[in-house]
Structure 1
Amino acid sequence: MLIWLMLWISGVWGETDMKDKLFAFPKESSTSYVWLLPEYLGPFSEATVCMRFHSNLTREYSLFSLATWRKENAFLLHYYPGKRNQFLLSVDNQDHFYDLQGNNFTEWTSICATWNSSTLVLWIDGTKYTKNGKWDDVNITAEPLIRIGEKPYIYGGNFNDSFVGEITDLNMWNKTLTDENIMDYFAADEMSGNIINWNALYYVTSQDVSIKPYVDPYPCIPV
């Protein structure tokens, strides 16, 4: 808890209902990011993160980073654009690459990543990418630091691969969501994480990050 006390002292602390709001990252920066403070510090033997975002970046960037003092990439979502067009899901410092199918993240995109000891699944706008295997002792046991906007290469240290764009509806659970749960998220149903809850978000902002209204680009129209 000492780490979170230091963040509270050094940053702008808030607990906010972020429904219909977003974080905007307007430009490349080594100092603009958001710490997300979990409601529960673990340990985690499985987890799910869902979020919506868009970006015009043509270089690689990180969307979500959970680091511990033991593991730099305890849970990382990272994108490689262009001809490579790969998404990296790193869990417990083990990298897993997914070849994507013609994605264009310049439009609003919904993404979920979920993992346990036997399955890692990446969902992008309803398309499912699965890797099966056996990962012994996949567990986040040390105190997590969760950040969006930039990826810490060492625990609390240097930063790179900054994100430029907008992020909203970010939730995290300490369980593997079912396919039905994830499709509900894509359909914009009200789903709140028990680790990170977008509708009751604890966060610390740094430098050039702003909160703006979010307007659903694909609203459901009553019949």
Structure 2
Amino acid sequence: MWLWMMLWVSGALSQENMREKLFSFPEESNTSYVQIFPDHKGPFTEASVCMRFRSDVTREYSLFSLATPRFLYDFVLFYDPVSSHQILLIVRNKPQSFNLQDDNFAEWTSLCVSWRSSGSVLFINGKTYKDDKTLDRKISEYPTIIIGQLQQSHGGGFSKSFSFVGEMTDVNMWDKALTDEDMMDYFADEEMSGNIIDWKALKFTGFGNVDILPYSDPYPCEAI
């Protein structure tokens, strides 16, 4: 139990079942982040990412940063409250924006994004947002995946002003586009795991001031 509450040594590669655990990013920083090592190198013609998070930061910040040698913003999830309350999905450096309703990210938020060439879908706390633009793109090979920071150079270039401050858990990624039903089921079914990133067998390295803490689902599903 005490291990969850301490900082781990920066740069040490770990593989761990992170079920009922979370990453805590307690302060604004340009040095604190987690690098996640995917189980497949790509390329990917479809992709989905799901996570839970909470943050009371009111500025913009990065939720998920995937860069490749070919594209710096190959698959990025970014919160932008400046111009409007929106989530940006950036694929191959091209952004798509989802204007949100009155979601309060200071409370635990369930988020999934599903992307394919015919368009993308964002799911937040039971609400679905769709963008039906045709996207003739694919995610390149050899991804570098980071949570807690936005890669502004491949594997680095971090800025305090884009850093994530808060808590994050249940980060999974698939090389397919999840359906609306899949995304709803994901947050009701703890047995679903990604085949690119699997939270229950997470390969990662932590840097800087990041804690591993216990996590308990604040909205558990109960059998009827």
Question: What corresponds to 1:214 in structure 2?
Answer: 215
Question: Which TM-score applies when normalising by structure 1?
Answer: 0.92
What is residue 73 of structure 2 aligned with on the other side? 73
Quote the Cα distance in structure 1 between the aligned partners of 2:83 and 2:35.
31
1:195-216 per-residue CA deviation (whole Å, 9 max, x = no partner) reads 0000000001001011000011
2:168 corresponds to 1:159: no
% same residue? 53
Aligned partner of 2:172 in structure 1 is: 171
Gaps of 5+ in 1: 1-9
Could you report, residue by residue, the CA deviation over 1:110-160 in whole angstroms, capped at 9, with x for unpaired residues? 000111111111110111111112222x11223100000001112123112
Partner of 2:90: 90
1:15-94 matches, cutoff 5 A: 15-81=15-81, 84-94=84-94
Q: In structure 2, give the amino acid aligned to 1:77.
A: L
Asked whether the 8 Å contact 2:25–2:148 carries over to 1, the reply is: yes
Question: Cα RMSD over matched residues?
Answer: 1.4
Q: 2: distance between equivalents of 1:139 and 1:218?
A: 35
- CA-CA distance at 1:186 after TM superposition: 2.4
AA aligned to 2:166 is G
Aligned length: 213
Alignment of 1:71-220 (within 5 A): 71-81=71-81, 84-136=84-136, 138-160=137-159, 161-220=162-221
Query: How far apart are 1:222 and its partner, in Å?
Result: 4.9
Residue 83 of structure 1: how far off its partner (Å):
6.8
The amino acid that maps onto 1:159 is F
| Distance in 1 of aligned mates of 2:91 and 2:83 | 24
Give the Cα separation in 2 of the matches to 1:54 and 1:81.
15
Once the two structures are superposed, residues 146-204 of structure 1 have per-residue CA deviations (whole angstroms, 9 ceiling, x without a partner) of: 00000111212311200000000000000011111111112243210000000000001
